[in-house]
Structure 1
Amino acid sequence: MATATLDTEPDYFTDHAVLLDPYDYFERLRAHGPVCRMPGRDILLVTGFAEALEVLLDARDFSSWLNPDPLTPLPFPVESEDIAAQLASHPSTEMELLVSYDGDRHAAARALLNPLFVPSRLKANAAFMRSYAQDMVQEILARGSCELVGEVATPFVTMVIADLLGVPAEDREAFRALIDAAPPPGNMDAGNDGQSIHPLLAMAGYFARYVAERRAQPRDDVMTEMALATYPDGSTPEAMEVVKSAMFLFAAGQDTSAKLIGNALRRLAEDQPLQQLLREDPAEIGPFLEEVLRLEGSTKATFRIAARRTKIGDVDVAPGQRIVVSLSAANRDPRRWEDPTAFVIGRPRIKEHLAFGRGAHTCAGAQLARAEVAVLLECLLAATQAITLDEAHHGPADARRVEYEPSYIIRGLADLHLKLA
């Protein structure tokens, strides 16, 4: 089967016209098949649910080397039918991150995060999360309004992850400042200059100090457990590998969760009956969140490169072929989801959505993200009678004005002004 082209479409990676409604863009390309060539690019776009699963579950044929920048040039010519070894021996960026690792290396790096997700640590973090959420809600309720993304969601998620990782209290405001100053992952305005990793490099300095201190003088804290963690084979990782795992969880988890909170609250602010349903029955917050994840999750796409000649569905894929897997489009594939653009709480098999990916690279912090959003929503709904959009900022219902962050990875509002009663 030949792949289709649509050369009149805007460029997904640079054109801000795609930001407001990327779903319409994906649907227009879906009309050319569940796998098609992106306009103006030698890149395949996967919009089909089954085809996305095929790629995400096949870590042998489809390498994660390209993440987080699908436009990274290959540092070698593609001259064979199998480039897996070449990919493994060439770092994709100056500071490789967990998201770009493959195979055993990826599994070993994820194992370093295990101390964070034991029940005792999650229980302690949940207590901090709820207390911090309640304090934030009381503060904004006293004002009667807030800008949710910058004043609530971002600091809330930043402090929750800092607590989970055991970042010392005296350093947490510095981490928050780094996050506030950072451009979004997949920054459409950054070109290909690597600016988006600069805040991560600053964080690396903090985490390197924590790891060195804990290895020299262990303490009874989670940072020591991470610093002393071993690979599954019992070997001790280089300190920088621990640093990179912690740093990636902090940065990646912060942005996606904060933007997910914004996406969820915008939907609630536009639907008072839905708000009231969740106030009266908080057990529905979980199913509500799963449908938000499916319909407007905060990660639009992930990226792969073909390590060898293969297929996606019935489309031939050459070694070195770049691939954009649209999680957003797969979650709206009409072949998988009935009435895919409708918001339906309680869809059958809803947790099969791909908002957190699938396979070896399934989001390590998926359960943490669900908890963060659910706890903040529960606290907000319990303390209010109505949450509405501030029309002074966003316009009336028939002429809404919203802006999204300039990212080809993240689906998230730049700001969301709310009124609380």
Structure 2
Amino acid sequence: MEIIMERTFYHLRRQLLSHTLEGLISLKARRTRTDSSSATKDAYEIPKNPVCPEDFRPLENSCFQNPYAFYKMIRDEHPVYQLPNGIYCISRYEDIVKVSRDTDCFSSTHQGSIASLKKGQSIIQEGNKMHSLARLGLVPTDVMAVSDPPEHKTHRKVGHKGLNAHYVKSLEPELKERCQKLMDEILAKGEFDFMHDFAWRFPLSVIIQLLGLPADDYEKIKTWCERILETQSGISNPQSLAKSHIASLRFIRYCWKQFLKLKKQPEQNMTKLFAQFADDPESEFTDRLAISLIFQLLMAGSDSSATSMGNAVKLLIENPDVQQQLRDDPEKITAFVEEVFRLETAFQGHFRWTKKDTEIQGVRLPKESRIFLMWASGNRDERFWDDPDLINLERKNGKKHLTFGHGIHACIGRELARMEIIMAIRMLLERTENLSQAGETPFVASMFAHTLLRLPISVTLKSEKHNNSNHRLKESAVA
């Protein structure tokens, strides 16, 4: 009885504090005078032949739209490059791998504070403030991708239990059915926005179902995820950050509500699995960690797979010769998807901070320096890749890209992402004769995510006669 009363009090206090904090943030935001100039205004063009960092303003929209010339320049000239906001960018493949492996020196924690830290603020102090809020159940705690050993081992064990390779493989028939249904809907239009109508919906609806959440909650979950990802953009103004923090509070309240509800139900899903780990007296896993893991899986499911799907279709349209190769030999789609991961990395990088003084490429990094590991830059590093800017379907080291991170923090959802994207591309090519762009395709303004805001395309469907012919050929081949 005492434990029940304690838990009831915890959740009543959590909800009261969450709503109170949301109100205070809203009040402060209304009183804040924001800069009238847009953070994403494209004030100038990127020089075609850059010679030094001063030629760039890397936190402006022109660079976000096509950052690769900038990445090459800093790889060659300034492999440890400090942005105007104080963050150090690590751009070479081998340096990124080295930092990823060194968890004693480079911490993955406090990700929510790193990008928006102001001059003079301590990452440890700001991170501890967030930890205090996390203990109260108001914000996600550091878990899995944003945790350090030894805690990380416990978190990963639980996450892997829910997304291991055997389980992901068992999902294939169900995913095919869902993919087919969405593909039927968009192809019937002839012209559509691939991002809005398919790329966002397919992977996010999958993770929502796997977690046991209501399918009708798709739109609000997606909106919350978009808002929260803005905190990592590197260009958020105070009002934008306030909206993101409010979204985070509401999202966490939602995760708690669903978690406590699903905990009592007999149906087995990933949320139920996390609850069982949390209730195990021998486990170090807790309800708060379960909530944070649900939050993290939804965030990743809302963006990374969608981003890679959109970029894959965009690359097919821009490279008709590659598109034809895949139509002629669908077995090469797997290699193509790995090249998409490498060339158009969904998350351009992830943050770390130094737990002690260190040095990279002759640059001294004091304790609490903020680091941005540039996966996207490492994925095009000429020191590691041959002809890194080209699509090569015969690339021998194609799976060694950094898109899913590296080391102990490599993404546990990578096999699910691969399956979803390969499936979507295969179906799209099987059902169409041609893909073409039907409008502008801008990327979101962010140093963190390289996500298409829109991808309007038009398609020419294969004729019924052509499809029947292909079907007979396949049957003949099987016979």
Do the two structures share a fold, i.e. TM-score over 0.5?
Answer: yes
The structure whose residues are more often helix, as a share, is 2
Higher relative contact order (CA 8 A, sep 6+): 1
Of 345, 363, 371, which aligns to 1:297? 345
- Does 2:449 match 1:410? yes
Of 143, 147, 153, which aligns to 1:101? 147
Percent of residue pairs identical? 25
Q: Which whole-Å deviations, capped at 9, do the CAs of 1:6-56 have from their partners, x for residues lacking one? A: 66244434x112111111112222232322333x34332211111111111
Q: Which residue of 1 aligns with 2:209?
A: 163
Tell me the secondary structure at the aligned position of residue 385 of structure 1.
Answer: strand
Deviation, 1:281, is 2.0
- Output the CA distance in 1 between the equivalents of 2:207 and 2:265: 24
Of 219, 224, 231, which aligns to 2:272? 224
Structure 2 stretches of 5 or more lacking a match? Answer: 1-50, 134-138, 461-479
What is the letter of the counterpart of residue 207 of structure 2?
I
Counterparts of 1:14-93 in structure 2, within 5 Å, are 15-38=60-83, 40-73=84-117, 89=128, 91=130
- Output the CA distance in 2 between the equivalents of 1:97 and 1:298: 22
Deviation, 1:75, is 11
- Output the CA distance in 2 between the equivalents of 1:6 and 1:122: 46
Structure 1 stretches of 5 or more lacking a match? Answer: 395-401
Of 355, 375, 379, which aligns to 1:331? 379
Of 309, 328, 349, which aligns to 1:261? 309
TM-score w.r.t. length of structure 1: 0.85
Q: Which whole-Å deviations, capped at 9, do the CAs of 1:161-181 have from their partners, x for residues lacking one? A: 112222234544553564577
Deviation, 1:202, is 2.9
Q: Which whole-Å deviations, capped at 9, do the CAs of 1:354-380 have from their partners, x for residues lacking one? A: 111101221121111111111111111
What is the letter of the counterpart of residue 208 of structure 1?
W
- Output the CA distance in 2 between the equivalents of 1:220 and 1:172: 20
- Output the CA distance in 2 between the equivalents of 1:165 and 1:387: 34
Q: Which residue of 2 aligns with 1:365?
A: 413
- Does 2:333 match 1:285? yes
Preserved CA contact (<8 Å) 1:310 1:317: yes
Preserved CA contact (<8 Å) 2:195 2:454: yes
Q: In the comparison of the two structures, how many residue pairs are matched?
A: 401
Q: 1:360 to 1:232 in 2, by over 3 A?
A: farther
Q: CA RMSD in A?
A: 2.9
Q: Report which of the two structures shows the higher radius of gyration computed on alpha carbons.
A: 2
- Output the CA distance in 1 between the equivalents of 2:416 and 2:331: 18
Moved more, 87-96 or 161-170: 87-96
TM-score w.r.t. length of structure 2: 0.76
Deviation, 1:236, is 5.1
Preserved CA contact (<8 Å) 2:163 2:412: no
Deviation, 1:250, is 0.9
Q: Which residue of 2 aligns with 1:144?
A: 190
Q: Which residue of 2 aligns with 1:387?
A: 435
Preserved CA contact (<8 Å) 2:111 2:351: yes
Tell me the secondary structure at the aligned position of residue 89 of structure 2.
Answer: strand
What is the letter of the counterpart of residue 340 of structure 1?
P
Q: 1:339 to 1:405 in 2, by over 3 A?
A: same
Q: 1:350 to 1:106 in 2, by over 3 A?
A: same
Q: Which whole-Å deviations, capped at 9, do the CAs of 1:200-247 have from their partners, x for residues lacking one? A: 433323331232234445444433212112599932533121011011
Q: Which residue of 1 aligns with 2:293?
A: 245
What is the letter of the counterpart of residue 88 of structure 2?
L
- Output the CA distance in 2 between the equivalents of 1:367 and 1:102: 23
Of 290, 315, 321, which aligns to 2:363? 315
- Stretches of 4+ aligned residues off by more than 6 angstroms: 74-78
Preserved CA contact (<8 Å) 1:264 1:289: yes
- Output the CA distance in 1 between the equivalents of 2:263 and 2:253: 16
Tell me the secondary structure at the aligned position of residue 207 of structure 1.
Answer: helix
Q: 1:54 to 1:374 in 2, by over 3 A?
A: same
Q: Which residue of 1 aligns with 2:12?
A: none
Q: Which whole-Å deviations, capped at 9, do the CAs of 1:270-315 have from their partners, x for residues lacking one? A: 2223222212322211100111111111111111111012222443
Tell me the secondary structure at the aligned position of residue 294 of structure 2.
Answer: helix
- Output the CA distance in 1 between the equivalents of 2:374 and 2:317: 27
